[in-house]
Each structure stands twice: as structure tokens, then as C-alpha cells.
Structure 1
Amino acid sequence: MESLDFAPSAVARMLRGRPTGLVAVIAEQLTTTPDSAEIIKGIQSVCEEHGKILLIGETGGVAETGSRLVADMRERRVEAIIFATPFHREVTLDHVLGQTPAVLANCFQSDPRYAQVVPDDEGGGYDAAKIVLQAGHRKIAFLQLIEGMTATRLRLQGFHRAMQEHEVPVNPKWLKHGAAAVDGNEFEHLEEAIDSLFAQANRPTAILCGNDKMAMRVIFILQRRGLRVPDDVSVVGFDDFRIISEALDPALTTVGLPYREIGELAARQALAGEEASAATVRMPCRPIMRGTVAPPPKGRHK
């Protein structure tokens, strides 16, 4: 076989009705988003475990490209198609999949026709609040992600649940959006938000941030204003984007998104074929304790 440079023909296998061993991922700007690329790694690990070959098509966020990729993957007789997005959001699938098994990873349809695996963002917001509540904080600000995002809404629900369970009142003035959907710098109004939090004598002792990139900027802004983290203000991120969370000094306390686990379960559901039900699975986020959370300064926890 080596001397003749022989390779099995996928076309011949299709003609014989044998499985091609191919699994497709239709990614929406996922391959260019480093902090969520772990989804691909999770899918790849399961494909290797089952002896499957992974094909990846990138839509660039263009619906027409997605439709073309689906048609191309079906021509190749892939055994399953996994749709994956870089952030938790609702999608509308108008693609004609026929009998090809499909699974959604990190995205969902309100009327699910396929299995879908998403992060438990509501639980993540709850855990982020619990980290600082258990450290003794009662003056807690929440700098959220972009308004209208699924994760923004769910994490805020979790935050309110944790505050209610600990009987800590929420200060509405301390609930702000630290990121905005603008061209260029999504954090261009972050300094203004920080300044408004600390303009009065009554100021927060802990700040929850929508993601680690925001948390890093928050720490730098606080330091420029002479505030120490965590001695004066505790900071919690979200994602566990390790290029940031482990590189900061002190290292960032955060809530990790289960990107790899989402990819792994989505791949297993896809390979289950008809046995996979059209249900939504929410993968738990995990608190990761590092060095940016400490008890509130004495006299400022009430």
C-alpha cells in the first residue's frame, strides 16, 4: 500500500453505504476567538477517541456561507454536523439538513429540533456573587457584558438570586454595563463606569466583571487611581481566559466557562445519531479561586 501510494476512497465508501468517518463543525467566528476555541479541542478529542476525522468550516458570521458549508458537508456524507458559536446566543437554522444528525454547541434555538449544549450562565452569575459574599462583602458592584446578550441576562439573574439568598440588598446604581456593542474598543466607557462607582463615599468593596478581559482593565484602572486589588477592592472575572487570568499579579479569581466540556458533550451527542434527544443540556461553570478576592477592608463591609 505504501509503495503504491494507496489511500482508501471516501467516495467508494459512500457508494457501498459505509460510514465515511467524517464529522463536520460549522463554526461562527469560533476559530478566530482564542478564549472559546476550547470548544473545537473538545470536539476534536472525542472524534479522535472514536476514530473520526473532523472537518471545520468557518462562516465568518455570514448566513449564506453557513448554508453553502452545510450543503458541501452533506455532499461529503458527513456522519454529523455540529454548529458552534463563540458566545452563548440564540440561532436560527434555515439550513436543510435532511437526515444528517445535528447538535448545537454554545448556542440554542428557542424551539429546539436538535440536541443543544450550552453553559449554565445563570449558575455562573450565582457562583461569581457567592465568591465575594462568602468573603464577607456586602457592597458589590456588577459590571456586565453587552446589553441584550443571553449571558448578560442569565448572569444577572444568578447574581440577584445569590444576593437574595444572603439577604444582601442590591444597589441599582452599581449595576452597570462595562462593555458596549461599538466598533473598535468595546470597553471605551469602562473608565467612566469605574469613576461613577467610586465618586461617592459609599463605594463598592467588590466588583464582578462580565469577562476576564474586562476584569484585567478594571484592575489596571483601579491601580491608576491608587486602589489596591484585593486589599481595597476585590475583583472577579468570568471565562478563565488563562492568558489573562494566570498572567495577572495577583492571579485573577474568576468563573470558568466549560468550553471544552461543551465541545466534548456536543460531539458525543452528535455521534449518538438518532439516539440523541432534542434536549438542552446546561454545563455548569466552575469558580476558580486565585488572588484577587479578600475580605472587605475593616469598617467598609456594612
Structure 2
Amino acid sequence: MSTIHDVAEKAGVSIKTVSRVLNGGTEVSLKTRTRIEQAMQALEFSPSAAARMLRGRPTGLVAVIAEKLTTTPDSTEIIKGIQQVCEQMGKVMLIGETGGHPDVARRLVADMRERRVEAILFATPFHRQVTLSAALGGTPTALANCFEAAQHHMQVVPDDEGGGYAAAQMVLQAGHRKIAFLQLISGMVATDLRQRGFHRAMREHGVAPDPAWLIHGAEADDANEFAHLSGAVDRLFASADRPTAILCGNDKMAMRVIFILQRRGLRVPADVSIVGFDDFRLISEALDPGLTTVALPYREIGEISGRYVLAPDADAVRTIKVPCAPVMRGTVGAPATRSKA
């Protein structure tokens, strides 16, 4: 981002002369004023931002560059967490929505820096790797719910591996050994990490997972990500040897699985135990019985990333993994001694 020094150098005048123009002084000749204004335009230098810089006053502004976050209801808690920190520290939060487009992200960053925000946070609706191509300069920056391979900035992400472990532990401790896992979309960061945690829990209990019961219950289809979920459940119950517990990639999937099982005449949890993931309370608390699930710590991710970026600790670790806590409600019980056909 260009500075007042750059403008003065390009126009061939002193910084004091540029300052006079920015503050509306009349003692600068028209020729010199025109040259300064042309230099500002060439350098894409904002007079309004420059005036604030000259006064040296903190703006109190914090920018959140979001990727489809404001339109994803089950992850808006990230925004609430950042907002809570801003309120406590007397800051004003500005939100820019990229829609997942890198060029929009770059424009938003440039605009936020022009407004001289004190910090920038990048936030995504699901745990994933990102590449920050925008020019951030020296603006304090943190990543919420996402990470970059180079780890140039503080990044706060959910401990999805620990979440997969916790989900499996709930049904294993209830006595289940026939456990199916309907996972999220193949290749997602969360999918791979949760599967790793699932396998770790199964090994600790001496249980070998049935490969045929490890199925992707969701697909990369914006129109209907669960188009083939009913068929996947049918495959799990195609023979007499069937699972007594099903782990689901998220609460939306778990709700649909419960409805599918009910249409088959199976009861939850009397015949089949179900575990979700997210603790999206519009679902998890609305179901009867309430959905046993693993909570994604969205609000905590927002709070931690916000606190760090507004009061950075030079000795802080570069990546913070926030635990995903198990939430026991009513959809997990002891395995039935006899499965209903």
C-alpha cells in the first residue's frame, strides 16, 4: 500500500506539501497540487485514508474477510465470536463476503487496508486450506477455521481428528462394536482427520472396522449433497449382519439418517444409535430424542483468533487446534440384543 512518502517522491515535493494538499491548504500552487493529485491517482493512494494516517489515530476497525460464511447458518458462530471480542475491546467489525472468489478477496483486502483497519481475519465456513494472495503488508492477520501451508499467520482450526475420536468413543463406551461411519465429502480436510480419529478409537478398543460400513454419505453437489444417502443406508442394512451404531459427518446428515431408519421401522436409539457432528442446535436440540453429537467450536475459534489478532503474542504457537467436545443427548444407547428386521 502506497504511503505519503511515496506520493511526495513521485510528485517531487516534500511530505509537508502533500500534507497541505490533503488537509485542504490553499497555499499550494495549482500546478503543484495537480502534480500531487496525479501522483496519488497513479499510486492508488486514498486521501481519506492518508488524512487518518497523518493524524496518527487508530481507526478502531477490524476486518473480517469471509468466504460464504454469512450465508452458512451453522457456522455463523465464528462471526459472533469475533464480534464478542471486538465489543469487549471497543472495536468495530467490518465484514466483507468473497463468495469464494480470490479476486473479490483481493479487492476487499485492498479496500479494508485503505480504511486502515487495525487487523484482518480470514474466515471460512468449513475447515480447509487456503492460499492468501492478497497484499497484507504489515496488517496483523489471523485465520479462523482455515489454514495455510506456509503458516505465515496465526491460524485457529477445530481439532477434527479429536472430534472423530470423541464420536467413536461415545458409541464404543456404550457397548457398540458394529459401527458404521457415513462420512462427509471425500477429500475434505475434516473427512480425513475425523476418519483418522475414528480408527484410533477403534484400535484402542480392539475393534476392526468393517470397510463396507465406511461410506461417504455426502457428495460435492450444491443442489443435493445427500442425493445418495438413502441408498447408502440401504447398503448398511442389506444383510442380517448390520451396524448397531452409525456415526454421521454432520447433524444435517444425522437427521436424514434418523428419518430413513424410521421409514424402515427402526427405532433410535433402541435399534440403532446415531451420532452427528457440529451441534447445529436448530437440529440437534429440535429432534426427539435430542441428537447426540460432537460440537464444532465455532464461537471459540472466532474468539481465539480475534483476541490474538488484536493483542498478538510474539511467543504464541502458529496453529491452535480447538477441541471438539462430545455432547451426549438421547440418540445413543446400549446395543440392542436383537436387531429388528
Shorter-chain TM-score: which interval? over 0.9
* Residue 165 (1) aligns with residue 204 (2): yes
Indicate the percent of aligned positions where both proteins have the same amino acid: 72
Is the contact made by 2:163 and 2:324 (CA closer than 8 Å) also made in structure 1? yes
Out of 263, 266, 277, the residue aligned to residue 305 of structure 2 is 266
Question: Shift of the alpha carbon at 1:10?
Answer: 8.0
Could you say which residue in structure 2 is the equivalent of 1:14? 53
Could you say which residue in structure 2 is the equivalent of 1:194? 233
* CA root-mean-square deviation: 1.4
CA distance in 2, matches of 1:189, 1:115: 38
Q: Which amino acid aligns with 2:100?
A: G
Alignment of 1:1-302 (within 5 A): 13-273=52-312, 275=314, 277=316, 279-298=318-337
What's the TM-score, normalizing by structure 1? 0.94
Is the contact made by 2:250 and 2:278 (CA closer than 8 Å) also made in structure 1? yes
CA distance in 2, matches of 1:93, 1:183: 25
> Equivalent residue of 1:261, what SS?
helix
Could you say which residue in structure 2 is the equivalent of 1:3? none
CA distance in 2, matches of 1:222, 1:85: 33
CA distance in 1, matches of 2:169, 2:314: 38
Please, which runs of 5 or more residues in structure 1 have no aligned partner?
1-8
CA distance in 2, matches of 1:276, 1:99: 18
Alpha-carbon deviations, 1:33-87, whole Å to 9, x = none? 0000000000000000000000000001111100000000000000000000000
> Equivalent residue of 1:248, what SS?
coil
Q: Which amino acid aligns with 2:266?
A: L
CA distance in 2, matches of 1:133, 1:150: 24
CA distance in 1, matches of 2:50, 2:91: 16
Question: Shift of the alpha carbon at 1:17?
Answer: 1.3
Number of residues of Structure 1 aligned to a counterpart in Structure 2? 292
Is the contact made by 1:215 and 1:237 (CA closer than 8 Å) also made in structure 2? yes
Q: Which amino acid aligns with 1:40?
A: I
What's the TM-score, normalizing by structure 2? 0.84
Does the C-alpha gap of structure 1 residues 286 and 278 become closer, same or farther in structure 2, counting only changes over 3 Å?
closer
CA distance in 2, matches of 1:241, 1:272: 30
Question: Shift of the alpha carbon at 1:15?
Answer: 2.2
Is the contact made by 1:91 and 1:108 (CA closer than 8 Å) also made in structure 2? yes
Q: Which amino acid aligns with 2:110?
A: A
CA distance in 2, matches of 1:70, 1:16: 22
Q: Which amino acid aligns with 2:279?
A: D
Q: Which amino acid aligns with 1:179?
A: A
Question: Shift of the alpha carbon at 1:222?
Answer: 0.2
CA distance in 2, matches of 1:111, 1:133: 37
Alpha-carbon deviations, 1:109-134, whole Å to 9, x = none? 11100000000000000000000000
Q: Which amino acid aligns with 2:265?
A: G
Higher relative contact order, chain-length normalized (CA < 8 Å, sep 6+): 1
Is the contact made by 1:29 and 1:59 (CA closer than 8 Å) also made in structure 2? yes
Is the contact made by 2:49 and 2:116 (CA closer than 8 Å) also made in structure 1? no
> Equivalent residue of 1:275, what SS?
coil
Please, which runs of 5 or more residues in structure 2 have no aligned partner?
1-47
Alpha-carbon deviations, 1:153-195, whole Å to 9, x = none? 0000000000000111110000000000124100000000000
Question: Shift of the alpha carbon at 1:18?
Answer: 1.9
CA distance in 1, matches of 2:315, 2:228: 44
Is the contact made by 1:103 and 1:116 (CA closer than 8 Å) also made in structure 2? yes
Alpha-carbon deviations, 1:70-111, whole Å to 9, x = none? 000000000000000000000011111000010000000111
Q: Which amino acid aligns with 1:88?
A: H
